[in-house]
Amino acid sequence: MYLLEHHFPSQELQMETSAYVLLPDLHRMDEESRKNIPTLYLLHGMHGNQTDWIRRTRLEYYASQYQYRIAIVMPAAANSFYTDMVHGERYYSYITKELPAIMESAFSLSPKREDRFVAGLSMGGYGALKIGMSLPDRYSTIGSFSGAVMLEESYSPSSNQSAEFMHMMDNIFGSEEGLRSGDSNLSLLAKKLSAAPEKAPKMYIACGTEDFLFEANEYFVSKFKDQLPIDYFTETGTHDWDFWDRHVKQFLAWLPLTKVRYK
């Protein structure tokens, strides 16, 4: 695999940004294998950045060791929750529109729904579910590892969130109503998608039993597992990189990928 950091100006963000990209060794691949490579958009968590998955997991080793025919794109998204912020940047539009166009043009990646996947951890798990369920015609598969699936409950009095965190939520979503009633509410997106489950992306949802988000994931999955194509994975684990390392490995094996054919 090749690892590179691709820098480019973003019209949606109105600034320069970058993404880490893992690619198969294109020069050693036969002509047919180089065409329409599937892509995983892998999203970081809160207070993270585009380097996290490379620095803190064995992602590159897994992709290389098992010779997966896939490109893995890891963008930077600040603490945006992958949303067009009410007071801030347009990260949802950037991730879903501009970034795929740039990556597919630069690296000859497949634009097909069946070849486009999105996954992430914590805030990134929320982002992956939001993106994939909002755009089921563009993404065939979603992965959420310790995802913040019930983010609207941050506004509940019992959540005991800090004033700093709630100020960030207001900057992103505008208000409690903006999160509870809009397209940023994952339960509402899942309910809407349940009306046409045959069009829904396949979902890989994982959360450790000691994770502070475990109860929220249990509730979300129990509510929609009979209506949507959800594979749910739990095991002993907390909200940490050991858990996410195990599950990014398992997620790659779970995806419908082929192996690279080298010359």
CA distance 239 to 211: 5
Coil, helix or strand at residue 42: strand
Q: What is the pLDDT of residues 111-145, one digit of tens each?
A: 999 999 999 999 999 999 999 999 999 999 999 99
State the CATH architecture for 2-254.
3-Layer(aba) Sandwich (3.40)
Per-residue pLDDT, 228: 98
Q: What is the pLDDT of residues 40-59, one digit of tens each?
A: 999 999 999 999 999 999 99
Query: How many of the other CB atoms lie within 10 Å of CB of 167?
Result: 10
pTM of the model: 0.96
Per-residue pLDDT, 181: 85
Per-residue pLDDT, 222: 98
pLDDT tier, 25 (very low <50, low <70, confident <90, very high otherwise):
confident
Over its C-alpha atoms, the chain yields an Rg (Å, rounded) of: 18
pLDDT tier, 30 (very low <50, low <70, confident <90, very high otherwise):
confident
CA distance 192 to 199: 11
The b/e string for 60-93 (b: 16+ C-beta within 10 A; e otherwise) is: bebbbeebbbbbbbbbbbbbbbbbbbeeebbbbb
